[in-house]
A and B are shown apart, each in its own frame.
Chain A
Amino acid sequence: MALKDYPVDECLLQGNASCPGCPATIGLRLVLKALGKKTIMVVPACCTAVIESLYPHTSFDIPVMNIAFEAAAAGASGVEAALRQQGRTDITVAAWAGDGGTYDIGIQALSGALERRTNFIYICYNNQIYSNTGIQRSGATPYAAWTTTTVSGKNEFRKEMGEIILAHHIPYAAQTCISYPEDVISKITKAKNIPGPKYIEILAPCPPGWRFSMDKTVEMGRLAVDSGAWSLWECENDVMTFNGKSKLILEKKIPPKPVEEWIKYQGRFSHLFKPQRDEERLKAIQKYIDDLWERYRKCYLKP
């Protein structure tokens, strides 16, 4: 889709309360363009609850129901059931949650809603931290990253939510990143037109959380994909397709950039470079990514 073909409607209004350079608002703007005004959004506790702005104002031009942190998918299940009873199948129900609300506290409700074949789109914007509460670790935080609860770097690797989602065998699941507007819009648009449960996760590099300058948000997302630290894919009815550079990396048509090319710009990894290089942890980070791609190749690369 060319830029000129993007939907002109803006459902995310001006004057919201996000940080400058916020990836969540970039993502929201694109997602809402693709979803359009016939959408009801369910939002749990996360940065977006702040981005909405202070009552009685709002930055959303669609109906939004806020719900408790762990509750997005369950709340959306109720909205969806009610609309179905009312015959309002023309309305899209979307949950929009952070990685904390998805990987950690909300995983049970999410898994339940997917298993029940709830007709909705669950969108996780993944900034790899609890940013609303001031940068704490989540299950999505990568190994060795600093957060306020992993002061000398996280000791564990992130969990692969995508693989957990795929185990539910839902009609559509995808990973994308705010740095690829076309990819975001096309995946959301596709999901909107598929009945049943859909899951889309959007990587959202967060300047204050990852400790990089606020003009580098888009670049941080691109480097994540170029280095293979993040991947773009979609899985429709169990048929997996990698997109863009991720496809080339999968097929070994291009080598991924060394992961250092991505992390060296992020203050959350600065302890791996200063006062001296922490070779052991740098190697472990690279190995995690290499192993992940080897696993992808085994599963998804057709000989």
Chain B
Amino acid sequence: MTIMMDTGNRIAAKAAVMARPEVVAAYPITPQTTLVEAIAEYVANGEFKGEYICVESEHSAMCACIGASAAGSRTFTATSSHGLLLMHEMLHWAALARLPVVMCNINRVIGPGWNIWVDENDSISQRDTGWIQIYCSSNQEIYDTVIQAFKLAEHQKIVLPVMVNLNAFILSHTSMPAEIPDQQTVDDFLGKYTPHWKLDIDNPTTFGNIIGPEYYFKIRRAMQEAQMNAKHLIPQIAKDWKKASGYFHGDLFEYYKCDDAEHILLSMGAIGAESKIAIDELQEAGHKVGLARLRVFRPFPTEEVRKLGKQANLIVIDRNISIGSEGALFNEVKAALYGESEAKATGFIAGLGGKDVTYKDIETMCQKAIQGTAKEQVWYGMEE
């Protein structure tokens, strides 16, 4: 074990390389660039021995991962924002083809106008592609999650691509220490990749040809079942990883001081980490409020949200907006509660375009919700 003091991107690259993918295909975009540059350094110093395809676009990056995965190799890529959006068609393709590609997405604003700061609309807008989506809040969590992502994606009860999300700059470019286990620990944990299906000249099969409604219906249903399986496999795989490496990151939620809480704050990504300080302060001031930081957006942890709704009123902060509706997390939390709980839910849209969300802001949002002075959905900082 060594301690690596580095940025989220470079720690993600370290994890990706230690998972020993046979093929990496990627295209640079701020703020993901330092991640693919780090992989290029590992190619140069011999630490990464796989193929590194410097494709001409993110669309081709995902296509190349699809091709490599279909040919039976473990694959990895990384992107952000516009790169992720350019991949959209192929995100569906990878998931429908049941190819366990692992990707890091650095959450960044979508233009116009051009803005490179944090915002989660990029990945949230891909939530229906069939990918498992995990949101991290520290560099250690990034390392652990990337390693576990390969295990999850390749698990025979899942066989779906996994997207590990980290917020632009707050995580991607901020140095924090992470414990890195030795290579053998990772090798033993992941094992050798055995593809679920592959292009094989000894068993010539046509993949992805024209298909009638009956079979297609089954394919979609099987994907849904795979996502549901991930709900219990995500924590289970995390427990196995803890046994192997000593670290645990892997529940659907990270709960913080939720015992006796009458109000529970739900947030994701870096806001999720910042929320802990806010919870400490609020509890000190006598408020019965706890935190449930959502790690896994797909599959959506419906049962866990219902449990929270039975215990407390819910406060939801979204760093995204489904224009014409509401924050995506708020939306899904309310859907989960429907008919199951009388809990009040209050939603805040905050931090769009990279606007800072400090623990003080989070405290203010919680106080408004607790006092009951907030409307159902609030654009924080622009109430007037």
Q: A interface vs B, CB < 8 Å?
A: 37-40, 42, 49-50, 52-56, 58, 60-68, 70-71, 73-86, 91, 108-109, 111-112, 115-116
Q: Which residues of A contact B57 (CB under 8 A)?
A: 108-109, 112
Query: Which of B53, B63, B206 is the one whose CB lies under 8 Å from A52?
Result: B206
Q: How many A-B residue pairs have CB under 8 A?
A: 161
The proximity string for B residues 110-148 relative to A, scoring 1 for CB distances below 8 Å and 0 otherwise, is 000000000000000000000000000000000000000
Instruction: Decide if A40 touches B63 in the complex (CB within 8 Å).
Output: no
Residue on A nearest B50 in the bound complex, by CB: A85
Q: Which of B196-204, B224-232, B300-308 contacts A (4 or more CB under 8 A)?
A: B196-204
Residue of A nearest to B71 (CB): A82
Contact call B201/A91, Cβ cutoff below 8 A = yes
State whether B206 touches A58 (Cβ < 8 A).
yes
Q: Give bound CA distance, A65 to B198, whole Å.
A: 9
Which B residues fall within an 8 A CB radius of A? 22-23, 25, 50-51, 53-57, 59-61, 63-73, 75, 89-90, 93, 199-201, 203-212, 215
Task: Contacts A65-B70, A78-B75, A81-B67 known; list 20 others, CB within 8 Å.
Answer: A37-B201, A38-B201, A39-B201, A52-B210, A58-B205, A60-B204, A62-B204, A63-B199, A63-B205, A63-B206, A71-B60, A74-B60, A75-B64, A77-B67, A78-B53, A81-B53, A82-B22, A82-B68, A82-B73, A85-B51
A residues near B22, Cβ cutoff 8 Å: 81-82, 85-86
Return the chain B residue nearest A60 by Cβ.
B206
Q: Are B67 and A75 in contact (CB under 8 A)?
A: yes
> Residues of B contacting A83 with CB < 8 Å?
71
Q: How far is the CA of A67 from the CA of B66 in the complex (A)?
A: 9
Main secondary structure, interface of A, reads: mixed
A109 and B56 within 8 A (CB): yes
CB distance from A213 to the nearest CB of B (A): 27
**A37→B55 contact, CB < 8 A:** no
Contacts of B90 in A (CB 8 A): 68, 71
> Is A79 touching B67 in the complex (CB atoms < 8 A)?
yes
Closest chain B CB from A127 CB (angstroms): 19
10 pairs across A/B with beta carbons < 8 Å? A49-B209, A55-B210, A55-B215, A64-B207, A66-B208, A74-B64, A78-B75, A79-B67, A82-B75, A109-B57
Q: Which of chain B's residues have a CB closer than 8 A to the CB of A80?
A: 67
State how many angstroms separate the Cβ of B43 from the closest Cβ of chain A.
13
The interface residues of chain B lying within 8 Å CB-to-CB of A74 are 55, 59-61, 63-64, 67
- A42-B201 contact given A66-B206, A82-B23, CB 8 Å threshold: no
A40/B54 in contact, CB under 8 A? no
> B93–A54 contact, CB under 8 A?
no
Cα A48 to Cα B205 in complex, Å, equals: 15
Residues B63 and A37 in contact, CB atoms below 8 Å apart: no
B66 touches A75 (CB 8 A): yes
Contacts of B65 in A (CB 8 A): 78
CB neighbours of A40 from chain B (8 A): 71, 199, 201
